Amino acid sequence: MKDTYLWNPYTSVYKFLYGLGDLQSDDYVYGFGFGYKTISQDYEIVRISCWKYDHHTQVEIYSVKRCSWRRIQDIPYRIFPLYNKAKLVNGVLHWVAKQYLTQNRVVLGYDINSEKLKEVPLPDCVDANFFVMTMDEYLGVTCLADTKFIVAWIMVDYGVRESWMKLYVINTEDIPCSVNAFGLLPLCFMKNGAEILLSDLSCLYSYDTVSQDFKEFKIDNLPDCAFDATIYTESTVKLKTGYLKRKRTHNITGRRQGM
């Protein structure tokens, strides 16, 4: 990822971000997040840079309003390459990180308004190799427990440990062996609320939490890509650069996966 752009999907306007340097360096691991700072009415990009040769991690902020970067603090955490895209919930950006001192894996939260970092409490009995995700407005985590069960939780009341609710438990024996169970992540609730859209980084699936029916979505002419989902608020903020043409929409149809 050598070039980085900021894109407004509502207006199709994009902006090239200067000052990021060469992000293909093998010496650093980068984490990114994006959100709105209400106290300054400004959109901000957060970049966390981890140098692999030392316990040295810095946090930098890019202001869309001022078109400039500033460094705020160094932190005693390391971001994982697989989890470098932050998940925004309740005005807080979240990454999976490891403490330098204890080597514990945690959910690291950065509050955009206060510019403070915190660890978000995890549900009990979560496996150490977990992913962080969002489901609508909820923060969530998912993991492969005992190499057999895919388990996901959502935090109903943000910041309250006791509010973690188990979303589903999928037995890997009940899904095709072609599915990447370790990387199977929920993306969003579907229309009826009982079905959940999932991805294993290469294909899309739906899972009915009531009937436990697992289906694959077939997408015609889809190039090799990974899937992610996020919620955004439409805005007419001006980026004063180029326009990005919208790509055509692929037709998506449901196909039941054989058991």
CA distance 26 to 149: 34
Q: Is residue 111 a part of any domain in this protein?
A: no
Q: Is residue 38 a part of any domain in this protein?
A: no
Bridge partners, 138 (sequence order): 135
10-residue stretch averages of pLDDT, the chain, 259 residues long: 76 78 66 91 90 81 88 88 83 93 91 94 84 91 87 94 94 87 87 85 87 85 74 75 44 37
Domain count, the chain: 1
Q: Is residue 7 a part of any domain in this protein?
A: no
Q: Is residue 194 a part of any domain in this protein?
A: yes
Which pTM value belongs to this model? 0.84
236 in Cβ contact with 206 (< 8 Å): no
14 in Cβ contact with 8 (< 8 Å): yes
Task: Kindly state the tokens that stand for 195.
Answer: 């079905």
DSSP for 133-153, written as a single string: EEETTEEEEEEEETTTEEEEE
Handedness of CA 185, 114, 38, 73 (dihedral sign): negative
Q: Is residue 237 a part of any domain in this protein?
A: yes
Q: What are the two backbone dihedrals, phi and then psi, of residue 179, each rounded to the nearest 5 degrees? A: -75, 135
Structure-token match 């490891």, residue found: 98
Q: Is residue 208 a part of any domain in this protein?
A: yes
3-state secondary structure of 82: helix
Q: Is residue 219 a part of any domain in this protein?
A: yes
Q: What pLDDT is stored for residue 19 in this prediction?
A: 65
Q: What pLDDT is stored for residue 65 in this prediction?
A: 86
CA distance 117 to 75: 9
Q: Is residue 174 a part of any domain in this protein?
A: yes
Q: What pLDDT is stored for residue 30 in this prediction?
A: 84
For residue 200, give its domain range. 121-259
